[in-house]
Structure 1
Amino acid sequence: MPSASAREAALATTPAASLVFTTVLSHGPLTRAEIARRTRLSAAAVTKAVRPLMELGYVIEDPNQGTRSALGRPAIPVRVDGGKAFFVGVKVTGDEIIAVLADLCCRIRVVRHLALADRQPGAVLASIAELVLELLTEAEGFGAPVRGLGIAVSGDVDREDGVVRYSPFLQWRDVRLAEIIGAATGLPVTVDNDVRALTVAEQWFGAGVGLSSFALVTVGAGIGCGLVVHDRVVSGAHGVTGEIGHVSIDPLGPCCYCGNNGCVEAIAADPAILRGVREATGKPVATAAEALELARSGDLGAREVYARAGQAIGQAIGSVVNLFGPQRVIISGEGLAAYDLFAEGIRDAFAASAFGSAAQSDVMTRPLPFEEWARGAAATAIQSFIGSDTYEE
């Protein structure tokens, strides 16, 4: 008889089991009939997929949620047993590493923060390994194994090879992150772009649950965009997609670090706003918080910088809805702290640039702390573990 680990590996290659698992994970508890309706699988296919998941203990029946069917038989829902397995998620910023221990339902159980004194790959990777090993010790108290590790990094990330091709904030090039951290921790490692990782979490557990298409626009140190089209996270043929921060909206605008002029990121990202506020006011503001305080105090020059940033973001969102027509656009990121100063510019520029019915896309804000970005990394590890094919070129 094959070992439990061998059976789990086989399970991960079954598309129906992965589909059923992700459906129950996002929408459960669900009866088998409800699973069949949501997945469009036959009742027999659902039963075949659920049985091994239950044998392994990852899916359990929830009799407290049961109802009577039309024939008078109890319809007992099934749900994912979150405590059956654990995953570590790591988000790397330019200033710190945030690591979380999450259960199989991606509920955060433990959080750790570690400030970065050195952005060199060797130093950062050593710190990641240190945090992960600490969380592996924490996981022992929960009595279930850690099955995977997800790491989220900004920039051009090749998920398939586990390589950070280029991260502008960290100044990394061609860092074989999955290979190195996997050897240091002994865990299967999934490495992905941070915005795509957060998009996975929103698709399965957040504001994107139940939507076949949505866009996640993040504002802050950079401007990013994750896309879900036909229930799949779009990754791009070469691992790069949704880079709305590098859409040039003003050819005569400020120079962007990518080499072009007038990129959204060169106008609306935190460093650009900070630089613009200094130029507009002549005051030596040193941080985004100081720039925000100055604008809120009524300084017209600072407020104009934020208004221009809002217009750039709104124009970028208009381009997204024109190209992809998502049901919803979720705006998130640490830059939402200034949303009151952005809001009018975003709203007006979006209304002006969205074409026809594309303007009907639901635009909402969703503040998410960096712990949630680390949770997104954990979600990618869960995704790899269950073999869910939710990525599309």
Structure 2
Amino acid sequence: MSSPSAAESFPAHTSAASQIFTTVLSQGPLTRSEVARRAGLSAAAVTKAVRPLIEAGYLVEDVDEDARPALGRPANLVRVDGGRALFIGVKVTGDKIIGVLTDLCCRILVARYVPLAARDPKAVLGSAAELVRELLIEADGLGVRVAGLGMAVSGDVDRAEGVVRYSPFLEWRDVPLAELAAMTTGLPVTVDNDVRALTVAEQWFGAGVGLSGFALVTVGAGIGCGLVVHGKVVAGAHGVAGEIGHVAVDPAGPRCHCGNRGCVEAIASDDAIVRQVRAATGVQVADAVEAAGLAHDGVAGAREVYARAGDAIGRGIATVANLLGPERVVISGEGLAAYDLFADHIRDAFATAAFGSAARCDVQTRPLPFDEWARGAAATAIQSFIRSDANQHLRGAALTQPA
């Protein structure tokens, strides 16, 4: 594999320049005047920031002589050259690792899946490193360098430190994943919570583009929530924010793994639904797919379980809407496969619990396969690369790809 002589730094050395590039990345192609308006910056600031980005090949100016106004220079469009750099995203689940190779615009070029034989950090790192090596070979075939690696895991993740504080599905505590992964792969590494990473991808490239505030709620193995407030993904002072799954909606409800009772996750996660369907029907369903099958078949008790789950999710979403007033709430996750069983209950509970104009929040669903979660991890690596002065944390001394 080819390797660059040194890790190239992104030629945007101010927060304004990063903001300008991000605006073009997520909303472009745009004219300079449109960039200035959307970024809330002066035309002079945009001109100053765009020039070195064009010279370095990250931005491309499309000259359109037909767009020439009556006076002055033509209003040329500026866009990102997605092929200027590549990124790898890795999503770790309880039983597999998903890896993707993306371009600078976070378009998936290659996707790979590998099973996870064991969940200890050493085993996970070994499997992830092999997956990254495969994707580096793919990148080498394209003749473009990989500028960063993003890794996403569930649980309490401190992105600033690159440490997984607690991941219940992996049974990890205080694992310095960014440092270990950088030593193993030789790449700059960003580690983040999986839902927060997916939120970054949706903010820049999906349902949240152009919105100042929105929430992404994921339903499945757990109940997660990513938050964007005033255009920024909320991480919290200690890396924990948006834990809608641990909002208590029924003080007399089932015990949650966090120790409290009646959390949304204790009522509406896949495992919780399976346990409740078994108890309600006496049928030993193996997983959420079988549980949903019973409910679809009209088995007594199964539909009621999904009704309670929908009510819990709706109340949790209403709590977010009441506290933060997002423009939109996007519901996603593998649990959407059974969405028809609790959709009405989510909407009814949300309408009942949302206060005043919070009920006007746009609530929509967006099915996203696991490839998209790995793409979210790549999006965090792109974000770190663009905002390198403020956010990028390089672990280890090696800043180049392995030869």
Task: Give the CA deviation at 1:274.
Answer: 0.4
Deviations 1:70-119 (A, max 9, x none): 52642111100000100000001111100000000000000000111211
Structure 1 equivalent of residue 299 of structure 2? 299
Task: Give the CA deviation at 1:41.
Answer: 1.5
Deviations 1:112-145 (A, max 9, x none): 0011121111101110111001100110111110
Counterparts of residues 80-229 of structure 1 (less than 5 Å): 80-229=80-229
Task: Give the CA deviation at 1:11.
Answer: 2.8
Note closer, same or farther for the CA distance 1:369–1:31 as it changes in structure 2 (3 Å cut): same
Distance 2:31 2:20 in 1: 11
Distance 2:263 2:389 in 1: 33
Task: Give the CA deviation at 1:17.
Answer: 1.4
Q: Report the secondary structure of 2:88's partner residue.
A: strand
Structure 1 equivalent of residue 396 of structure 2? none
Counterparts of residues 9-48 of structure 1 (less than 5 Å): 9=9, 11-48=11-48
Task: Give the CA deviation at 1:355.
Answer: 0.3
Distance 1:66 1:383 in 2: 35
Structure 2 equivalent of residue 361 of structure 1? 361
Distance 1:114 1:158 in 2: 25
Tell me whether 207-216 or 298-307 shows the greater mean CA deviation: 298-307
Identity of aligned residues (%): 73
Deviations 1:179-218 (A, max 9, x none): 1110111100000000100000000000000100000000
CA contact (8 A) 1:233 1:390 kept: no
Tell me whether 380-389 or 307-316 shows the greater mean CA deviation: 380-389
CA contact (8 A) 1:22 1:388 kept: no
Note closer, same or farther for the CA distance 1:35–1:135 as it changes in structure 2 (3 Å cut): same
Task: Give the CA deviation at 1:4.
Answer: 9.8
Q: What is the TM-score when the length of structure 2 is the normalising length? A: 0.93
Note closer, same or farther for the CA distance 1:70–1:359 as it changes in structure 2 (3 Å cut): farther
- Following superposition, which runs of at least 4 residues in structure 1 exceed 4 angstroms of deviation? 3-6, 388-391
Distance 1:389 1:24 in 2: 19
Structure 2 equivalent of residue 49 of structure 1? 49
Deviations 1:217-272 (A, max 9, x none): 00000001100010010100111000010111111110011000111000000000
Note closer, same or farther for the CA distance 1:335–1:300 as it changes in structure 2 (3 Å cut): same
Note closer, same or farther for the CA distance 1:356–1:40 as it changes in structure 2 (3 Å cut): same
Q: What is the TM-score when the length of structure 1 is the normalising length? A: 0.96
5+ residue gaps, structure 2, are 392-403
Q: How many residues align?
A: 388
Distance 2:340 2:64 in 1: 44
- Aligned-partner residue type, residue 222 of structure 1: G
CA contact (8 A) 2:11 2:56 kept: no
Structure 1 equivalent of residue 236 of structure 2? 236
Task: Give the CA deviation at 1:68.
Answer: 2.5
Distance 1:130 1:326 in 2: 40
Distance 1:44 1:143 in 2: 35
What is the RMSD of the two structures over their aligned residues, measured on CA atoms? 1.7
Distance 2:124 2:97 in 1: 8
Q: Report the secondary structure of 2:239's partner residue.
A: coil
Question: Relative contact order: is structure 1 or structure 2 higher (C-alpha 8 Å, sep ≥ 6)?
Answer: 2
Task: Give the CA deviation at 1:390.
Answer: 10
